[in-house]
Amino acid sequence: MKTLPRLLCLTVLAVPVFTGLSPFPAGTEVLPGLPWGPVLYVLLVLGGVAGFCGRAFLANVVAVTALVLSSVVFAGGLVSWLLAMAGGNSAGVAGSIHGAHYVGLALNMLSVIPLALAIVAAIPFDRLEQRLLRGTRGISSGEKYLLMFVRVFNHIVYVVIPNILEVMREEALLRAVSERASRPAGPRGLGSLGRRLTAAMVQVGVSGICASLRFIPLWAREIDALPRRLSSKHRSRT
Amino acid sequence: MPEWKHDIPTRYFATYEALENAFRERVAGLVPRYHAGTRVFWDDFQRLYSRSGVFVPENGEAYITSNPRDCLAFGTPFQVLQGAWLSASRPNAASPEDPGRVAERFGLSGHLHQSIRTLSGGETVRLALAKAHLMAGCAARLTVASPFSWLSLDHWHLFRELVDHYRSRGTALELFALDGEASTLAGEDGDEPAAVPLRFTWRLNALQLDLGSLIDRLHDRRVWVGVAPREETLASPCLLCGDNGQGKSLVAKTLAGALAYTGEARVEGLRGERRVRLLFQDVFNQSLMRSMPQLAPRGEDDGVAAAYDAIRDVIRHRAPLAGRTLSAFGERRHDAAPLSLLEMKILLTALRLVDHDGVLILDEPDWGLSRPDAVAFVAAVVRAAHDRGVPVILISHKPWWRNLARSIRRVSKQTVSSGADGCLFRIRIDADPGGPS
């Protein structure tokens, strides 16, 4: 599929979720407080992302979404549930107070995150970067900002993430975790696994952020050194 | 000691850390550094923040970093050269040479619109030289970090051309190098046989590497590398040699499972088909910023200490200068202070050896080390690995290991097609004409 049609299709698919309009009637409830409409929309979005960007891409964005969901939505739900329990409610009642809200939130993120990632990935940033330095009379300050943004984005996508994946593959970090998880373990073993997994993810995250930022001063200097575009033809090549 | 002959002012350093610190001072603290922790990162940030506004790029330094890729700020060679041309152009002054002509002079005409991440090591080196050539128009001085670690003899004439260009303009230039870095001596280890002769078999069959990312596929761009089939039994240590950018590291990463591939890439040592482990050239990336306690969080009696200390003892014996700075594992184990490059290499190697993996690969083991330290480190690792029945593959374009190696293979890469829409390469591995089989 060509870039522009893909971008248009993804944008049309994203209109409901970013405007709060639902293309489907709410209908009956799948779970208490959760109607069919949002569920169908999530399925439509995931199917659309798979269709426009490929199943491999969908698998990756769903994995990223799951990571965000587990830390933001489920942790939020857990805190809310504990607060309700502390207020003297039984476990079941405490769960029903905000349960539907958090399930709805999870569904919303299941459509927002894959769509946002798909739209960003569909924009050909590297080609955009190549167009910015074609002139021979310098560049405008707006182009400098855009150049810096595109540079950082491309560096993260094409250098930082592949480098980290190479290290994780070589060290079999994920395989070690999955093998450990498949073994029967008591609550203490699960706790230890959880702590190790969390520590590893934090380490990968911090390392990724630092690797992303590492070159910014260098690029800032180089991009800042580019001359402002001149109105007259001072810079014609000899 | 035979070495590259030159008359360029050169400052020599005993360690990578000392060289990088001096280089950072020289180019006003703006080069990327390999952060060894949040504290180091924060200190860097504070230093930059407090010095912002001090820089005067118009009269700045032209430079090439110790990893030439780090000084290329844009996405394609065309942009890098165009950016350098724009920066070097001054109103009411003669324009610098046309970027297209400079690209041709440095053999980059066919790669101008290829993404920098798909350039080979040799192409990257030539691009860094071409950029420095254009920057001569505005630079007050050129500083080059660790040139003999990334320059191969094939690129020496281009480097000389760059030097002559700066000299003809009366612009100063200086090299920062590690002790012994310029040596072309094959190594004094020929009369020191491996403790235990070891052999291993490798089998590469229908091997194809897809170096593109998911986003590349979305935009119909692919970077494919095909590897010619090969199956043979080799003696350890085996040296995979070849010029800059011939695909040595790609072969190593494939054998170690760090790259996704289709086809067969298997290595079988004495202990059968166990995992192949790789020590990356850029071992800083491999550490993921972890400290000693995070990298070695195992029990007290797991063998890591013994392997670490065995390697350290040989280094202390063969390179006393570096050895003096190496603490024993027990003294360092709970110390979260940043690891030096040499400590990191020793620790990661020790961790791989205690797992008794099938084969250990050292990618450019000399990277960031002075010659005495590199020779001592490799000799120590080969001895420790052979004692544990683990064969070793060395990857390097330097001649330092030719006497140590018991088998040598040469890697060469051919570009089938390259451009903005993707690249196709083919890699061959052949017997080295002058080396042991």
Quote the pLDDT of residue A199. 77
**Helix (DSSP H) and strand (DSSP E) numbers for chain A:** 11, 2
Quote the pLDDT of residue B191. 45
Which of A162, A226, A230 minimises the CB distance to B83?
A226
Is A2 or B315 the better-scoring residue by pLDDT? B315
Tally of domains within chain B: 2
Residues in chain B with CB shorter than 8 Å from the CB of A215 are 32, 70, 73
Quote the pLDDT of residue B176. 95
In the structure encoding, which two tokens stand for residue B278, read together?
A: 């790789």
Residue A229 maps to a domain: no
What does R_g of chain A's alpha carbons equal in angstroms?
23
Burial class of A10 by CB neighbour count within 10 A (0 to 12, 13 to 18, 19+): buried
**Measured torsion, CA atoms of residues B21, B27, B30, B34, in degrees rounded to the nearest 10:** -30
Out of A68, A91, A123, pick the residue that ends a domain: A123
Whether B157 and B210 share a structural domain: no
Quote the pLDDT of residue A186. 64
Whether B281 and B421 share a structural domain: yes
Residue A50 maps to a domain: yes
Whether A143 and A187 share a structural domain: yes
Residue B103 maps to a domain: yes
Whether B344 and B271 share a structural domain: yes
Q: List B426's β-bridge partners, or say none.
A: B226, B414
Whether A109 and A140 share a structural domain: no
For A59, name the nearest residue in chain B, comparing CA atoms only: B214
Q: Could you tell me the pTM of the whole model?
A: 0.82
Quote the pLDDT of residue B1. 44
Out of B145, B178, B211, pick the residue that ends a domain: B178
Out of A123, A151, A176, pick the residue that ends a domain: A123
For each of chain B's 437 residues, which pLDDT tens digit applies? 456 778 899 999 999 889 988 887 787 655 555 544 556 666 666 666 565 544 444 457 889 988 888 888 888 899 899 989 988 886 666 678 889 999 999 999 888 888 787 787 888 999 999 999 999 988 889 999 999 888 877 788 899 999 999 999 999 999 999 998 888 777 655 445 545 578 999 999 999 887 777 777 777 777 788 999 999 999 999 999 988 778 888 899 999 988 888 999 988 887 777 788 999 988 888 888 888 888 886 666 678 999 999 999 999 998 888 888 899 998 888 888 888 899 999 999 999 998 878 899 999 999 889 999 999 999 999 999 999 889 999 999 888 888 889 999 999 988 787 666 677 889 999 988 877 76
Q: Is B288 within 8 Å of A234 when comparing Cβ atoms?
A: no
Whether A135 and A99 share a structural domain: no
**CATH number of the structural domain spanning residue B174:** 3.40.50.300
Handedness of CA B396, B398, B401, B403 (dihedral sign): positive
Residues in chain B with CB shorter than 8 Å from the CB of A224 are 57
Out of A69, A91, A123, pick the residue that ends a domain: A123
Whether A40 and A97 share a structural domain: yes
Residues in chain A with CB shorter than 8 Å from the CB of B256 are 170
Whether A92 and A172 share a structural domain: no
A37: Cα within 13 Å, side-chain hemisphere: 13
Which of B38, B218, B275 minimises the CB distance to A53?
B218
Nearest-Cα distance to chain B for A156, in Å, is 12
Closest by CA to B13, choosing from B174, B189, B186, B139, is B174
Q: List B196's β-bridge partners, or say none.
A: none
For B74, name the nearest residue in chain A, comparing CA atoms only: A151
Residues B383 and B360: their CA atoms lie apart, in Å, by: 12
For A149, name the nearest residue in chain B, comparing CA atoms only: B74
Whether B80 and B137 share a structural domain: yes
Closest by CA to B135, choosing from B100, B71, B87, B176, is B87
Note the ipTM here: 0.84
Burial class of B267 by CB neighbour count within 10 A (0 to 12, 13 to 18, 19+): buried
Residue B437 maps to a domain: no
Closest by CA to B218, choosing from A202, A57, A140, A237, is A57
Residue B133 maps to a domain: yes
Residues B384 and B403: their CA atoms lie apart, in Å, by: 18
The tens digit of pLDDT for each residue in A33-63 reads: 778 888 888 999 999 999 999 888 899 899 8
Residue A41 maps to a domain: yes
Cβ neighbours around A182 below 10 Å, total: 8
Residue B130 maps to a domain: yes
Domain range enclosing A107: 3-123
Is A97 or B267 the better-scoring residue by pLDDT? B267
Nearest-Cα distance to chain B for A211, in Å, is 8
Whether A61 and A99 share a structural domain: yes
Whether A145 and A106 share a structural domain: no
Whether A82 and A56 share a structural domain: yes
Quote the pLDDT of residue B230. 92
Quote the pLDDT of residue B190. 47
Mutation target among A125, A202, A222 for the B interface, most CBs of B within 10 A: A222
Nearest-Cα distance to chain A for B433, in Å, is 32
Q: Is B55 within 8 Å of A57 when comparing Cβ atoms?
A: no
Quote the pLDDT of residue A231. 57
Q: Is A235 within 8 Å of B31 when comparing Cβ atoms?
A: no
Q: Is A139 within 8 Å of B82 when comparing Cβ atoms?
A: no
Q: Is B38 within 8 Å of A219 when comparing Cβ atoms?
A: no
Tokens 């480098």 -> residue? A163
Closest by CA to B358, choosing from B238, B256, B254, is B256
Whether A118 and A137 share a structural domain: no
Mean pLDDT, to the nearest integer, of A100-122? 89
Tally of domains within chain A: 2
Closest by CA to B412, choosing from B230, B165, B180, is B230
Instruction: Please state whether beta strands B407-419 and B392-395 pair in parallel, antiparallel, or not at all (unpaired).
Output: unpaired
Residues in chain B with CB shorter than 8 Å from the CB of A237 are 95, 98
Is A210 or B79 the better-scoring residue by pLDDT? B79
